[in-house]
Chain A
Amino acid sequence: MTNLFINKGIIHQTSCVNTPQQNSVVERKHGHLLNVARVIMIQSHLPKIYWSYSVIHTAHIINMLPTPVLNEFSPHEMLYKTSPDFNQLKVFGSLCYASTLSTNRSKFDSRTSKCVFIDFKKGDKRIYFVKKFNQEKFLCLGILFFMNMFFHIKGLKILAMKMTVQTFMIKIKICLQKINLF
């Protein structure tokens, strides 16, 4: 570890034992991350083993949202100097139909399989999915989203979920307005 820092010319500042307060920026961020990740996990009704995906997805959302610390700019804007692509956002754990590989199917096989949205692929607009029964993750391009439905809810309670999607969209709209203002 120290060799790495010496080679790269980095000054390494450490906090004292038992004082997480000194590392306040990250600890605060952890609190924020876990709060949102918990919400995502509960509303998507996914099993707990997917918590790592929810945390990654949360980081993705937080980077797009404007914060008062940066004068209502989003971290994405500060870093890349461009506004984030909001069309790419999808609701975590939402129902979607992914097309199956044409090589593996014959004429009378189903063209799609029912999946859950889990993760983005970095630097790519392709998306990861999870299948219901064998629970295997696979990459897919041709997909149809139903962002107001969640896969794991029994009987697919659409009404209640519509609200969450709406609030989500409102948040995004606010973001867009702020971007236009500045």
Chain B
Amino acid sequence: MHVSNKSIDVIKNKFPFVKYNKPFICDICHFVKQKRLLFLLSASKSKICFDFIHVDVWGPYSSSSIHGHKYFLTIVDDYSRYTWVFPLKQKSKVVKILENFLFLFKHNLRQQLK
């Protein structure tokens, strides 16, 4: 155990005759008080529709809907922020829906998907 780096600095300034070791990496400190790093804002910026899409699955919801849906898949286009919502019964359907989505919008909107 040791005093914090801040107090070491204070001691060093006030009492220059005190000897101390150079800053060292203390395992216990990291085990005890390591926090999460800050989340930086996303640097990617898109200039055309479908440059970049965000996808996420929400769920499971405790009570299934009238058709047995428990999840829903949300697709958000980064440029236009247009949202598509697809209700899902199982998570495994995501691949199929994404495939259909990409195919549909490649042909319908005539814009290059990346």
Contacts of A49 in B (CB 8 A): 63-66
From B49, B56, B95, contact of A26 by CB (8 A): B56
A123 to B: closest C-beta gap in Å? 10
Kindly state the interface size class of chain A when it binds its partner.
35 or more
Name A's interface SS. Answer: helix
From B56, B82, B113, contact of A30 by CB (8 A): B56
Q: Is the CB of B66 within 8 A of A52?
A: yes
CB-nearest residue of chain B to A135: B66
| Complex Cα gap A19–B42 (Å) | 14
**Count of residues in B whose CB is under 8 Å from the partner chain:** 35
From B65, B95, B114, contact of A1 by CB (8 A): B95
Q: Which residues of B contact A (CB under 8 A)?
A: 39, 42, 49, 54-56, 58, 61, 63-67, 69, 72, 74, 76-85, 87, 94-95, 98-99, 102, 109, 113-114
Q: Which residues of A contact B (CB under 8 A)?
A: 1, 4, 8-11, 19, 21-27, 29-30, 33-34, 48-53, 55-56, 58-59, 62-63, 67, 69-70, 75-76, 78-79, 135
